[in-house]
Structure 1
Amino acid sequence: MSTISVPVFTRRLREVVADEPKAFAYDLGLSLSAVYNYLNGRVPATEVLFRIARYSGRPMEWFLSEPEETASAVGGLGEAAEPTSYAAAASESGGT
């Protein structure tokens, strides 16, 4: 299991909050000082992180680690699948 990357969390939270920390705090039922604490490197409790993730439409893992770390943390589920073509598969096997 990977550890939490505070710089990644802070950077990604800044993307979500943008320049509206007051509205963000209000929408999530947080104090403005709590939001500023999170923007300055404090990692919230799991419950608050869940609310932030739900609000942003992103998975919790997105806030906690880089993409390659996230993919390995969930067993490779984040890896891109190879595109397949039925027509190409049929022509290779001699079918129509």
Structure 2
Amino acid sequence: MTTDIEAAAQQADAFLAGKKKADDMAFTLGRVLAEMGIRVGDTDSWPLLKGRASLSGEPSVFLGTVPLATVRKLIDALISAESSRRSRRDSGHDA
């Protein structure tokens, strides 16, 4: 049986682990966006990107409000990547 103090400590540990994981994911996403020329922290590009965690330790990344021009750039990049992937896959089946 755990005491209230032990339970609180476990919850705090779970939260901190989730927050670290979320921060790592946000950092990685920020690096990817930077490679695409999207500046995190710039109100005209991507104002806010923040790692968060629930009290149970479930990590999440808050993306903030993203300007439409940035969303279009991401959509174009995703479509291009998917098209390239399908093209490689299709040419692999033909060979």
Superposition TM-score, scaled by structure 2 size: 0.28
Larger RCO (alpha carbons 8 Å, 6+ apart): 1
Which has more strand, going by share of residues?
2
